[in-house]
Amino acid sequence: MTRTTPPMVRPRTTVTTREDPPRTTSASRPTDRSARRVELEGLTAYYGDNAAVQGVSLEFRPSEVTAIIGPSGCGKSTLVRCVNRMHEEIPGTRVEGAVKLDGEDIYGPGIDPVAVRAAIGMVFQKPNPFPTMSVFDNVAAGLRLTGKRGRNLNARVEAALRGAGLWDEVKDRLGKPGSALSGGQQQRLCIARAIAVEPEVVLMDEPCSALDPQATLRIEELITELKNRYTIAIVTHNMQQAARVADSTAFMLNGELVEHALTDKIFTNPSDKRTEDYVTGRFG
């Protein structure tokens, strides 16, 4: 069967103006204006009859980091898995509403979920390099899977490892197993694998929860570097992490979005009492 090439994998366009006023946290920072905007519109996600995400409308702005916080089980992981069409891989699940990438619904007719996942990459909680593959092959695997291998494979792998801040640490052991790296290096290897295919958006689901504080700091620095080129959404249970890396923060509770605002506002002057109770540690 011939797959439709969805619009979201078309070449990046040059955007010369920005529709919205720049946010205070990013106003002084040059941005790559080809990063893409993600809009969730009335997103509802079911496991059988259970709606784990309920009518969420939320925007991930280009070249910014959006944090998603909330107590365990409130639907954060489910929400981000809907954004690259991974939720539907679980039997008995379904999604309602829309997820738009620069205005185009990734759930629209004729859209290939595999192409969606190349455009919208994902980094998981536990570093998951392919255990028997070398460092090099772990990064090359993403390119091979998406048919982007090409003749310049070595250059692409190096660029991805540099982009993930890992090149200097692994350039002399590219043939060693990915699983031989430290936890923090493995997570950066997974980030390299995700960015090797040149996605527009990178979703991160608790990417530091299995890492020590130093490795966590390194990933947070990397997220800050990467946001110039990618639209980033990060699920975190660590509110300090959200405060450190995110331009805006969304607070979820019981499957619903309670509030989405600039990170400073969420932590210092939230609009909703439930947000205040959560960020001040009264529950969760």
Rg of the chain in Å (alpha carbons): 18
Among 18, 90, 173, 176, binds ligand ADP (CB under 6 A): 90
In whole angstroms, the minimum distance from the beta carbon of 235 to ligand ADP comes to 6
SS3 state of residue 261:
strand
What phi and psi values does residue 257 have, to the nearest 5 degrees? -85, 120
Among 37, 61, 76, 193, binds ligand ADP (CB under 6 A): 76
Binding window for ligand ADP (CB under 6 A); candidates: 27-35, 66-74, 175-183, 258-266:
66-74
According to the binding rule CB under 6 A, does residue 91 interact with ligand ADP? no
Binding window for ligand ADP (CB under 6 A); candidates: 29-37, 73-81, 152-160, 276-284:
73-81
Segment 39 to 58, residues that bind ligand ADP, using CB under 6 A = 47, 52
Residue in this structure with the two tokens 């982007």, named with its chain if needed: 148
Half-sphere exposure of 93 (CA within 13 A, CB side): 16
According to the binding rule CB under 6 A, does residue 207 interact with ligand ADP? no
CA angle centred on 223, ends 219 and 224, rounded to 5°? 120
C-alpha closest to that of 183 among 145, 139, 214: 214
> What separation, in Å, do the N-terminal and C-terminal C-alpha atoms of the chain show?
48
Q: Which is nearer to ligand ADP, 158 or 272 (CB)?
A: 272
According to the binding rule CB under 6 A, does residue 236 interact with ligand ADP? no
According to the binding rule CB under 6 A, does residue 72 interact with ligand ADP? yes
| Amino acid code (one letter) for 268 | T
Binding window for ligand ADP (CB under 6 A); candidates: 30-38, 67-75, 117-125, 276-284:
67-75
Among 6, 62, 75, 207, binds ligand ADP (CB under 6 A): 75
Distances in Å between the alpha carbon of 164 and those of 2, 132, 184, 269? 33, 21, 11, 34
Residues in CB range of 53: below 8 A, 6 or more apart = 43, 44, 45, 75, 78, 79, 82, 255
Among 26, 63, 78, 275, binds ligand ADP (CB under 6 A): 78
Q: Which is nearer to ligand ADP, 52 or 120 (CB)?
A: 52
Q: Which is nearer to ligand ADP, 78 or 263 (CB)?
A: 78
According to the binding rule CB under 6 A, does residue 84 interact with ligand ADP? no
According to the binding rule CB under 6 A, does residue 74 interact with ligand ADP? yes
Residue in this structure with the two tokens 């993600």, named with its chain if needed: 38
Binding site for ligand ADP (CB under 6 A): 47, 52, 70, 72-78, 90
